[in-house]
Amino acid sequence: MAVQRLYVFPTEVGWMALVVEGPLVRRLVIGHGSRAAALAALDFCCGAVEPDMDHPLIARLQDYSAGAVDDFLDVPVAYGEKSPFAAKVVRHCRRIPAGKTISYGELARRAGSTGAARAVGTVMSKNEIPIIIPCHRVLAAGGRIGGYSAPGGLGTKRRLLELEARASALHG
């Protein structure tokens, strides 16, 4: 097993903590009020080291939170112990373009499981790599905002959606 590296940094949407293992992003927590809160949100012990150098993804996440368009599709992620259904849902979620939203039901359909909207919601609620796996772009039926498990809950989800809508409108 490769060494896990931990990076904690401020952004326009709060403090973030990023955990990478080799080339893979394992975890990202967002929207915290302090460095200590971001670290505490990782809720895991030992094993991760804080290197002296920055990870290239930090600048991209900071730029994104300041309004830059980035789909992060080139960022390799660790899917962990996901079921085949959950892995398929996550792969399809990553393809939702910035500035666009779809419903849980539509994501279920795209993942080949029509009628599994609630199961998709469960997968999204367990997302450990928000923004890079853009679960905030998945809405409840009728365009309702639904839920969001990051700090700030629905307010954070709305903020990310508004940020992307503005950036997409500016950058066409």
User: Are residues 89 and 146 located together in one domain of the fold?
Assistant: yes
Q: Write out the residue range of the structural domain in which residue 22 sits.
A: 4-65
In whole angstroms, give the CA distance from residue 163 to residue 55. Answer: 23
Whether 75 maps to a domain, the answer reads no
Kindly report the pTM of this predicted structure. Answer: 0.91
Nearest to 129 by CA among 76, 166, 168: 76
103 & 56 share domain: no
Reported confidence tier of residue 172, pLDDT bands at 50, 70, 90: low
Q: Is the pLDDT of residue 82 over 90?
A: no
Q: Report the pLDDT value the prediction gives residue 110, as an integer from 0 to 100.
A: 97
Residue 77 lies in a domain: no
Q: Is 88 found in the same domain as 167?
A: yes
CATH of the domain at 163: 1.10.10.10
Same domain, 116 and 153: yes
Let me know whether 99 and 142 are in one domain.
yes
- Residues 39, 110, single domain; the answer is no
Q: Amino acid letter at 60?
A: R
- Considering the domain architecture, whether residues 115 and 164 belong to the same structural domain is answered as yes
User: In terms of domains, do 92 and 47 share one?
Assistant: no
The answer to whether position 79 is within a domain reads no
Number of domains in the chain: 2
**What pLDDT shows up at residue 3?**
82
One domain, residues 53 and 96: no
Query: What is residue 100's predicted lDDT score, i.e. its pLDDT?
Result: 94
Task: Check residue 19 and give its pLDDT.
Answer: 93
Number of Cα atoms under 13 Å in the Cβ half of residue 134: 28
Residue 71 lies in a domain: no
For residues 94 and 161, state if they share a domain.
Answer: yes
Q: Please indicate, yes or no, whether residues 59 and 130 belong to a single structural domain of this protein.
A: no
**Catalytically annotated residues:** 135
Q: Is residue 95 part of a domain?
A: yes
Whether pLDDT at 89 is above 90: yes
Query: Are residues 39 and 107 both part of a single domain?
Result: no
Q: What percent of the chain has pLDDT over 70?
A: 95
Mean pLDDT, range 20-30, rounded to an integer = 93
Residues 6+ apart with CB under 8 A from 81: none
Model confidence over 103-149: pLDDT tens digits?
A: 999 999 999 999 999 999 999 999 999 999 999 999 999 989 888 88
